[in-house]
Homo-oligomer: A and B are copies of this chain.
Amino acid sequence: MISKLIEQIKTKQAPVVVGLDPQLSFIPEQILNKYYEEKGYTLEAVADAVFEYNKGLVDATYDLIPAVKPQIAMYEQFGIPGLIAYKKTVDYCHEKGLVVIGDIKRGDIGSTSSAYAVGHIGSVKLGDQVIKPFDEDIVTVNPYLGTDGVKPFVDVCNQEDKGIFVLVKTSNPSSGEFQDRTVDGRPLYEIVAEKVVEWGNESMDGDYSNVGAVVGATYPEMGILLREIMPKAYILVPGYGAQGGSGKDLKGFFNKDGLGAIINSSRGIIAAYKNEKYSSFGAECYMDAARKATEDMLQDIRENVF
């Protein structure tokens, strides 16, 4: 799978991913009101609004980007109807040729991680039928339970040509509370990174592994070090833009081949119309604001990284 993502990144000269994280406050009122009028104040109405909002964002940006990253929590917050909108979003992005990174951050004991892997990147065999329940291309995985919580995902990556990004150093302010604690003279995230290398060796796909890592843009100095520890792991970098990271912080996440990292922006793009810089587009043209913000992000990254 990672080779498919790399091909798309090269074709579009865009090591970026748009985070489809539809918080209620991001969805323009004209879309919400349309569905409230039709279906009342229901989860079904919000879910329809979420999907229409996403569709606008995808239609406006798919030719510029290789991949999207829907954050499943933003759908799960709306219950079953929200998760139906998640699945429709995954399918629609596939129709548009995008690689879909499901930001699910799952991880559990072995048999349970197996179930998550089957549901999101694998298939269920029932009689003569093979069914792919969610069918993302890549998912994010939480490593707190250790190898037997991660390996079931790696096994499915190998069976189905899929990928995972394992949380190593997250972008949030308190990520250091546990991740930075010193173990044998080194921070815990380095120990996790070494395991990512070990797991990744079992799922190579060309020059890179299907097992990548998440390292926040907000910690660029750690990115440089982690880049060295995990030379074959693709790094998914959240925290660009709204969370504080910028283009000049990003060079260290990339290898000398110009590959090895993919930068995520969520609200900076999908809620660009709420940002003063893009406010002239207005809520009606939220998708055009998103396209302009994507173009600006691409320019920032191309100028600073290559």
Mark out the residues of chain A between 73 and 90 whose CB falls within 8 Å of any chain B CB in the assembled complex. 73-74, 76-80, 82-84, 87
- Chain copies in the assembled complex: 2
With known contacts A73-B119, A79-B133, A195–B177 Cβ distance under 8 A:
yes
Tell me if B111 and A23 are in contact (CB < 8 A).
yes
Tell me if B87 and A80 are in contact (CB < 8 A).
yes
Tell me if B129 and A73 are in contact (CB < 8 A).
no
Is A191 among interface residues, defined by CB-CB distance under 8 A? yes
Tell me, rounded to whole Å, the shortest Cβ–Cβ distance linking A22 to chain B. Answer: 10
Tell me if A172 and B148 are in contact (CB < 8 A).
yes
Q: Which residue from chain B places its CB closest to the CB of A151 in the assembled complex?
A: B174
Residues of B within 8 A of A112 (CB): 21, 71, 73-74
Mark out the residues of chain A between 19 and 70 whose CB falls within 8 Å of any chain B CB in the assembled complex. 21, 23-24, 36, 40-43, 45-46
- Contacting chain B: which of A6-14, A180-188, A203-211, A255-263? A180-188
Partner of A148, one of B110, B174, B188: B174
Tell me if A133 and B73 are in contact (CB < 8 A).
no
Tell me if B142 and A170 are in contact (CB < 8 A).
no
Partner of A173, one of B24, B83, B148: B148
In Å, the complex CA distance between A109 and B131 comes to: 32
- Contacting chain B: which of A120-128, A221-229, A285-293? A120-128
Q: Which residue from chain B places its CB closest to the CB of A120 in the assembled complex?
A: B76
Residues of B within 8 A of A191 (CB): 178, 181
In Å, the complex CA distance between A192 and B181 comes to: 11
In Å, the complex CA distance between A46 and B133 comes to: 12
Q: Which residue from chain B places its CB closest to the CB of A238 in the assembled complex?
A: B109
Residues of B within 8 A of A74 (CB): 112, 115
With known contacts A80-B87, A124-B77, A133-B78, A146–B116 Cβ distance under 8 A:
no
